[in-house]
Amino acid sequence: MRQFVLGLLVAGLLWWAYGPKSAGATDGAGGAPPANAAGTVPLDQILPGEVAPKAPSAAGPLASNAPAQAAALAPADLDELLAHVAQREPAAVAAGWSLLLQARLGQQRNRLAAALEPPGNDFPALLSALGDDNSFLHSAEGRAAATKALTAAMALPDAEAVPAGSRLIGVCLKGRIERGDREQRAFVDEAYRQHMIRVERWLCDPANVTGARTYTVVSGDSLARIASRFRREKVLVEDGTLAVLNRIHNPNALQVDQKIKVPVDPIYAVVEKRSFSMAVYVGDQLLRLYWIGHGTDDRTPVTEFTVAEKQPRPQWTAPDGQVYPYGHPGNILGEYFIKFRHDSYTGFGAHGTPMPETIGTMSSAGCIRMFAADIEDLFKILPRGAKVIVRASESLR
């Protein structure tokens, strides 16, 4: 009953807040970007130097001198929301961050901003102050609160920092991040950059066998042979997975008696359509984050796929049935194609694109589009049989 009442309250406040909306910013084009050390590419490297400013809207920042667009929010309504915010109920906190963007708040804005202040300085308290979607990313106050949470997470020992960073970045990806949202994407890129330092030190440490088994290399072994052995035991790994998680840069230099970590925690990917992102996890720990593009008119289905095949140098069959071999100018798949399997949906997968400016947009026939460096990285890491979970988490911005 409490959740039902809160839902009605949030719905009513958002109806009040989000009246007529104006159009957002227009997309721009960009060139091919360089990849960073993790093989991933911050999206802002392909965006133009100037992006047209957004017209005032629910997603736009609140100007300090913006006139009220309607009567201010009734104090009793705000009191009701603040009571839920005080309990750190995630939906109420997210609604609070969303409402903070509204010029209609009038004099009530300061009360709401104060209520959204974190209840403490430890990571759990700072995370609880962000809510359950990324509405906080769309205000300066929210990004400041998220920066405090990031600082607290990265101050933890690596064994705790990796799960904490995974949770924080996961919340950042739940909801809308559009192509022109430079500040929002910049925060996520910085959080991921700091997180990856801990990932390399902890999650990819062969001596850290949490959620993993240890294998001792014998004469004649290769990473592919080791991976094949464990796949027969239903442990879904491949040679590239083992190389990344053991910091093996030269797979031809394995030594007899070398200890190899083999993860038994599931490796899977989560696509968040609204933030145009794909995250790869080992158990509940974030290993990789990529910015992506997906289907025109939202045609990429919200479902759960399984990785069926991984095809290097793929040919492409166009929607009209025309087949383009690898290397043909008409072949849009690039160097790699990861084919998804589903009982009801066919033809879906992940691949590179000759049009990197379409990352961050709905522009494909339904497949996941990726930067060339990112699909190469994913091709190594994500094993056949892994799950690819596609979501469309909404935020209240």
Q: pLDDT (tens digit, 9 = 90+) per residue, 80-99?
A: 889 999 999 999 999 999 98
Q: What is the helix (H) or strand (E) element at residue 173, kind and residue range?
A: none
According to the model, what pLDDT value does residue 3 have? 54
On the question of pLDDT at 54 being above 50, the answer is: no
One-letter identity of residue 240: G
Chain position carrying tokens 């995370």: 127
Q: How many CB atoms lie within 10 A of CB 14?
A: 15
According to the model, what pLDDT value does residue 107 have? 79
Crossing angle (nearest 10°) for helices 182-198 and 158-172 = 160
- pTM, two decimal places: 0.83
| 349 and 336 Cβ atoms separated by less than 8 Å | no
On the question of pLDDT at 42 being above 50, the answer is: yes
| 245 and 264 Cβ atoms separated by less than 8 Å | no
Q: pLDDT (tens digit, 9 = 90+) per residue, 261-276?
A: 999 999 999 999 999 9
What value does the mean pLDDT of the chain take?
85
- Candidates 371, 388, 267, 375; CA nearest to 44 is 371
According to the model, what pLDDT value does residue 46 have? 39
In this structure, of 67-71, 138-142, 290-294, 345-349, the range with the lowest mean pLDDT score is 67-71
On the question of pLDDT at 169 being above 50, the answer is: yes
Chain position carrying tokens 């008409």: 330
Confidence of residue 51 (pLDDT cuts 50, 70, 90): very low
DSSP assignment letter at 31: -
Higher pLDDT: 137 or 52? It is 137
| 92 and 78 Cβ atoms separated by less than 8 Å | no
Helix/strand/coil (H, E, C) string of 126-158?
Answer: HHHCCCCCHHHHHCHHHHHHHHHHHHHHHCCCH
Q: pLDDT (tens digit, 9 = 90+) per residue, 234-255?
A: 999 999 999 999 999 999 999 9
According to the model, what pLDDT value does residue 13 have? 54
Q: pLDDT (tens digit, 9 = 90+) per residue, 134-161?
A: 999 999 999 999 999 999 999 999 999 9
Tokens (6 digits) for 83? 């009571």
Q: How many CB atoms lie within 10 A of CB 261?
A: 21
Residue range 207-233: mean pLDDT, rounded: 97
Confidence of residue 63 (pLDDT cuts 50, 70, 90): very low
% of residues, the chain, pLDDT over 90: 71
According to the model, what pLDDT value does residue 104 have? 74
Q: pLDDT (tens digit, 9 = 90+) per residue, 297-323?
A: 999 999 999 999 999 999 988 888 899
On the question of pLDDT at 113 being above 70, the answer is: yes
Residue range 157-179: mean pLDDT, rounded: 97
